[in-house]
Structure 1
Amino acid sequence: MRRFRTAAAAALTTALTAALASGCGGGTTTDGAGSNDKPKELTYWATNQASSLQKDKKILKPELAKFEKQTGIKVKLEVIPWSSLLDRILAAASSGQGPDVLNIGNTWSSSLQKSDALLPFDGKNMAKIGGKGRFSPSALAATGAEGKPPAAVPLYSLTYALYYNKQMFRQAGIDEPPKTWKELVAAGEKLTDDGHYGLALEAGDPVENAHHAFVFAKQHGADFFDASGKPTFDKPGNVKAVKQYVDFLAEDRISAKGNAEYAARQSVRDFAKGKAGMLLWQAAGSQLLGNGMKPADYGVAPVPVQSVSDTGDRGTTSMVAGINLAVFKNTDNIDGALKFVKFMTSDAEQHKLNTTYGSLSPVRAAQKAAPRDKDEKVMRSVLADSAAPLPQVPDESKFETLVGTAMKELFAQAAAGREVTTDSVRERLAKAQQQMRK
């Protein structure tokens, strides 16, 4: 998923519990609140995928006009910034006044599923949009708790990849992108000199930190939750994972100290401007182009692993990132809402929208065409072979906030010149685990 306000994420479980008590629902009038008395009209909350809200509107409005022409149903569009989206969803869930259809970060699926605010995509509803088999299994795995009908369906898929500056690699005598973290650190040391650094990090963003912690933990054979959903943040494998990631700045020193405060795509800008030779990011191509970097200037490869022989969970190179499309359960226009979901996940729309946004379609048929660029080629491979969904537990978003913030504090400690030890990492994760249980 994309970035969102972590303060709101921390309150998700509490707010959803309140939503359960007060009753949840969807359905809107033309002003975006209350019961929908116009069956030929839907309200849709879209996420900010492009460089601006206005650009999203420009992209989406022609597609919504196609839907209206096909079905006679008008769609009222509102594009909501990630910084306020979760607050808006929580307010809608607790008041019963929300949109008919909405985009959600796929990592929120289980948390919102717990609220009972979203329409379950059971066998009957899934059949109305073409069936479960249309979607990539890995993308479907990030739509809600295991054993329950999905709370949403995949709309845009993303995975992390390693981006590297070809010219900087040539100048440093590096022949190919690193396949292991040991190789990445070695490459980073060659690239770090005279104000340039090996790896750009977004270490001031708790969500970004938590995503990488999850991947590193998988590679160390660990998980942040056990099979029953109980947090296990301070287990040895998780401690190793977090320390290894923080050490890029703390011990390896291949990342700039200023990265400890980076958020809002500052690391992408540094990479695009040649201040860092490598970047770990989701579908960065369009953002790099917007920052003046030409596609020929960079390469894309899977995220490194601990050992090239690692398979299964230890071979995980990305969380399953992306955007899901959901329907508010109490909408007065379920048939129209499901028609809209079917339209947005149709082969034609998936090709159009994911090509425009630089994301990967989670619809299998759309993946049969030749990859449009090197970004999509790598993302397809990662999504199919080495991506894993974040823990599908009700408190997942709280995990992102607490663990990600602990890592932010550790990065700040390292940037200030204070040593980050195994014990200090364990202590921070233990504190986060205690807060998780409150």
Structure 2
Amino acid sequence: MRSIRAAAIGAVTMSLALAASACGGGSSGDGGGSNDSPKTLTYWASNQGASVEVDKKVLQPELDKFEKETGIKVELEVVPWSDLLNRILTATTSGQGPDVLNIGNTWSASLQATGGLLPWNAENLDKIGGKDRFVDSALGSTGAEGQDPAAVPLYSMSYALYYNKKMFADAGIAKPPTTWDELVAAGKKLSKDGKWGIGVEGSNPAENIHHAVVFAKQQGAEFFTPDGKPDFTSDGVVAGVKQFVDLMAKDKIIAPGNAEYAQNQSVSDFATGKTGMLLWQSASANLTSQGMNADDYGIVPVPVQSGTPGADAQVNSMVMGINLAVFKNTDNVDGATEFVKFMTSDAEQKILNEAYSTIPPVKGAQADPVFNTPANEVLKNTLANSAIAAPQVADESQFETAVGTAIKDLFADAAEGSAITEESVKAALEKAQQQMPTK
């Protein structure tokens, strides 16, 4: 899932339920069809570009193409990430939702557990060309192990470290960092004259989780035990979260104002030269849309504690991406399946992933030369060799809320000058663990 999303996950309110009901699905009187002759589909697309309007410009020509080929009209709504998960949860609760929707791949197991999404069993996968068309890392984030996927991969992403070449040269930094110690050292050289070393979205719970899972893994720790129980206060988890927040609290290479960032502001700061480094998912299209020339920045793997990225404690990203799901209550199941087939075709995968600077999760499209640039090679290699899937547990969305908000609060404390200690981090994580559902 892309990190411009501030997944504001909480209670499903009545107002959200009404909003979702108003959007309706294939069963609504003004937009539905039948399984035999679907004429209209509703599609909730996630905000992938720099704005909702950018997404509409990318997607609408492809939807028009689908309508011309099939006679099926697709009614598009691009949903901001701050609303998307609550909208989906409301839809699964009320039974009123779109026909087809995007989901952040980290939500797959949670949404699968609601029973609201169409399972992609072997029969359904065969209708879109079969399971073997998709790369393994993308399929690993489509639901709980041992169950039919809750969705199919649409866009694949991984984190990378983006760095401003001119700012590095001006600061006398000879090469981009490969370890966190090197990143902190570079960040301190960059943090002067009103500029800062690196930016984060400290008020974005989902973004916080993506980094925290990696930091903890690099400390040899997991947020969940092998049987799926939360384990948020182990030494490794505490150390990983503290190291992340310490980039602001101790190392002073993140501006205190980043504690309030939640919606793409750190990308804007990097694009405008306010920060020298950025940790982001597949950011090139976003940076280009904000006026940054591709020659002005470099892209390297996210640092590790020591050595080079790889397996186990050398992981440096979560397997990020967007999955495409079908709402189980649709009465346009055939049309919805045809739309998924279209969106995951080699031709459309090339068009869409090139537009968003993401990596196709479809093997045939990934082989296209356009995805063999140095920048894309960094992302592909990370996904193949040094990224891990989000915890595939039914309570993953609650995990994002609880721990992501705890880290948000720690960043707020750091911004105010409060000391961030092992004890304060452990207390925040203990509080988060107490918020998790009991079995």
TM-score normalised per structure 1: 0.92
Aligned-partner SS, 2:381: helix
Instruction: State the match for 1:247 in structure 2.
Output: 246
Deviation at 1:430, TM superposition (A): 0.7
- Output the amino acid matched with 2:271: A
User: Measured at CA, do residues 125 and 299 of structure 1 come closer, stay the same or move farther in structure 2, by a change above 3 Å?
Assistant: same
- Deviation sequence 1:62-95 (CA, Å, 0-9, x none): 2122222322322222222222222322222122
Q: What amino acid is the match of 2:383?
A: L
Alpha carbons of structure 1 residues 260 and 135: separation in structure 2 relative to 1, 3 Å: same
Identity %: 61
2:376 equivalent to 1:392? no
Would you say the 8 A contact 2:25–2:41 is kept in 1? Answer: no
Unpaired runs of 5+ residues, structure 1, are 19-24
The one-letter code matched in structure 2 to 1:221 is: G
Match in the other structure for 1:367: 366
The answer for the alignment partner of 2:103 in structure 1 is 104
- 1:395 and 1:31 map into 2 onto residues whose CA distance is 35
Report whether the alignment pairs 1:27 with 2:33.
Answer: no
- 1:148 aligned residue: 147
Conserved 8 A contact 2:7-2:81 = no
Between 1:395-404 and 1:78-87, the stretch displaced more is 78-87
Residue 406 of structure 1 aligns with an amino acid whose one-letter code is: A
Please state whether the residue corresponding to 2:435 is helix, strand or coil: helix
> Is 1:423 aligned to residue 432 of structure 2?
no
After superposition, the C-alpha distances for 1:103-146 in whole angstroms (9 at most, x for unaligned) are: 11111111110111111111111111111111111111111001
How far is the alpha carbon of 1:38 from its aligned partner? 5.5
Alpha-carbon distance in 2 for matches of 1:423, 1:248? 17
Q: Which residue of 2 aligns with 1:21?
A: none
Please give the secondary structure, in 1, of the residue aligned with 2:359.
Answer: coil
RMSD across aligned positions (CA): 2.2
Report what 1:377 is aligned to. Answer: 377
Deviations 1:317-347 (CA, angstroms, capped at 9, x unpaired): 1111111100112322222211111110000
How many residue pairs match? The answer is 428
| Within-5 A mapping of 1:195-214 | 195-214=194-213
CA contact (8 A) 1:272 1:293 kept: yes
Change (3 A) 1:360 1:225: same
Partner of 2:255: 256
Shift of 1:30: 5.6
1:130-169 mapped onto 2 (5 Å cutoff): 130-169=129-168
Residues 1:408 and 2:408 are matched in the alignment: yes
Aligned match of 1:92: 91
How big is the shift at 1:248? 0.7
Offset, 1:200 = 1.4
> Does 1:56 pair with 2:55?
yes
Per-residue CA deviations over 1:147-184 (Å, capped at 9, x if unaligned) read: 10100000011111000010111122212111111111
Report the Cα distance in structure 1 between the residues aligned to 2:11 and 2:225, rounded to whole angstroms: 22
Tell me the distance in 2 between the aligned counterparts of 1:416 and 1:280. Answer: 23
Deviation at 1:373, TM superposition (A): 4.2
Query: Which deviates more, 265-274 or 302-311?
Result: 302-311
Letter in 1 for 2:396: E
Unaligned runs of 5+ in 2: 18-23
Provide the C-alpha distance between the structure 1 equivalents of 2:191 and 2:174, rounded to a whole number of angstroms.
16
In the alignment, structure 1 residue 347 sits paired with structure 2 residue 346: yes
Distance 1:270 1:72 in 2: 44
Q: Secondary structure at the match of 1:45?
A: strand
How far, CA to CA, are the matches of 1:437 and 1:262 in structure 2?
A: 28
